[in-house]
Structure 1
Amino acid sequence: MADPDSDSDSRGDARADIQSAVEAIRAGELVVYPTETVYGLAADATDPDAVERVFEAKGRSREEPLSVAFADVDAALAATAASDRAERFLRAFLPGPVTVVVERGPDLPDVLTAGSERVGVRVPDHPLARSLAREAGPITATSANRSGEGSVRHAADLAPGFRDLVAVVLDAGETPGGESTVVDPQRGIIHRPGLRADAVREWLASEP
């Protein structure tokens, strides 16, 4: 016979895990979280020191900007200066596996964008990712691995040395895999084709 409290217990465990992750991010630490593609690495995207820890953990060049994940499109718009066309695109494709390049807002630091005035925006189609972004504020959106190594679809596959640099891992089992399409809708440029690339091309061609 199933335990009648098992569902509520698992929800309680998930709630506690998210709260621990939120507290870690607020303290400037790193968190691994699931998305609809691969596991991502989160830090407070508005804290230059926390963002610097992401670069250090990944061994990533500071000339390669990081993207930012938000809980929803409205939160993304509040933190950026997206054009009207970019806003229409955001509302058409997010949440989903698409990174949208827009003008950044004043709260996003230079280290995040490698000094650029534009930033990649994500709203992951995963409830844990969105809950984390909702409660911790804008978080970095980059794969949870060392640069040059393969992305991780199972939390158990995190490299031991990399895992040691992370305060909390939100393990949601296997993720679907794949890469987000990176697109600048204002300029009509696809920087990296990935998931939903054909739909993105159709939108760019048909929308004024």
Structure 2
Amino acid sequence: MLLEISPDHPEPRKIRRAVEALEAGEVIAYPTDTVYGLGCDLMNKRAVEKLYSIKQMDASHKLAFVCPDLSEIARYAIVENQAYRILRHYLPGPYCFILDATREVPKLIQSKRKTVGIRVPNHEVIRAITRELGRPVISTTAQRDREDPHIDAREIRDTFHGLALVIDSGAGGMVPSTVIDLTKPRPEILREGAGSVEDFV
């Protein structure tokens, strides 16, 4: 089902519909400040398995946490002072930062290194959804391996079968987020994407 939501002033009743789908263990598609994302409730094991199935991902493929703001991050990731300064400067924004995981992170979505990817997109729709849900949405990009990201909500609906809801807030971007590992002594760029990396080189 397609659901149009204003990107700048998301309608609360529509945000509630998206949250109800997540609470019911469904997978939804939503806009971010980079490419469209696919996601589900972090704490629902069946929903996470459904997300992997819909995207046809290998179990080793890592997912990111989408949080509404910095205050939520410390519950799921260990944030030292240097890392916090970086997060505060660059988020919300088109970055995914890799941090050491806390015990709050379900084992199903931890990497072998016990790290997590954290995103706070500069897009009010998904941030409103995570605020209303009360916990992060576990997220992956709306693209198949070796294909360009899908930028149109209808295209996403027709490509990824099994989605309960596809939020249409206009065309998405073509460039995914920049991924930076903050678990090393110096930040390490793992993927150069939409965010500038000048300060990390």
1:16 Cα deviation after fit: 2.4
The structure whose Rg is larger is 1
1:144 Cα deviation after fit: 2.0
Contact in 2 for aligned 1:104/1:118 (Cα 8 Å): yes
1:78 to 53, 75, 78: 75
* 1:144 to 1:154, Cα distance in 2 relative to 1, 3 A: same
Q: Which moved more, 1:96-105 or 1:41-50?
A: 41-50
* 1:105 to 1:10, Cα distance in 2 relative to 1, 3 A: closer
1:67 Cα deviation after fit: 0.7
* 1:175 to 1:200, Cα distance in 2 relative to 1, 3 A: farther
Aligned residue for 2:34, secondary structure, equals coil
> CA–CA distance in 1 between the matches of 2:144 and 2:24?
22
Question: Residue 31 of structure 1 corresponds to which residue in structure 2?
Answer: 28
The residue type equivalent to 2:154 in the other structure is A
1:125 to 97, 122, 126: 122
1:142 to 140, 148, 161: 140
> CA–CA distance in 2 between the matches of 1:12 and 1:91?
24
2:86 to 80, 89, 98: 89
Aligned residue for 1:90, secondary structure, equals helix
TM-score, normalised by the number of residues in structure 2: 0.87
The residue type equivalent to 1:197 in the other structure is S
Q: Which runs of 5+ in 2 are unaligned?
A: 1-5
The 5-angstrom pairing of residues 15-30 of structure 1 reads 15-30=12-27
Question: Identity over aligned residues, as a percent?
Answer: 31
Question: Residue 3 of structure 2 corresponds to which residue in structure 1?
Answer: none
1:94-128 deviation digits (Å, cap 9, x = unpaired): 10000000011222222223444101000011000
> CA–CA distance in 2 between the matches of 1:11 and 1:191?
31
Pairing 1:197–2:199 present: no
1:33 Cα deviation after fit: 0.6
1:27 Cα deviation after fit: 1.1
1:175 Cα deviation after fit: 2.1
1:83 Cα deviation after fit: 2.0
Q: Which moved more, 1:26-35 or 1:77-86?
A: 77-86
The residue type equivalent to 1:107 in the other structure is E
1:52-73 deviation digits (Å, cap 9, x = unpaired): 1111111111112111100001
Aligned residue for 1:43, secondary structure, equals strand
* 1:89 to 1:11, Cα distance in 2 relative to 1, 3 A: closer
What RMSD in Å do the two structures reach over aligned CA positions? 2.3
1:13 Cα deviation after fit: 8.1
Question: Residue 68 of structure 1 corresponds to which residue in structure 2?
Answer: 65
> CA–CA distance in 1 between the matches of 2:10 and 2:181?
39
> CA–CA distance in 2 between the matches of 1:92 and 1:13?
25
Question: Residue 181 of structure 1 corresponds to which residue in structure 2?
Answer: 178
> More strand by proportion, 1 or 2?
2
How many residues in Structure 1 have an aligned counterpart in Structure 2? 193
Contact in 2 for aligned 1:77/1:87 (Cα 8 Å): no
TM-score, normalised by the number of residues in structure 1: 0.84
Contact in 1 for aligned 2:7/2:169 (Cα 8 Å): no
The residue type equivalent to 2:147 in the other structure is E
> CA–CA distance in 2 between the matches of 1:130 and 1:58?
22
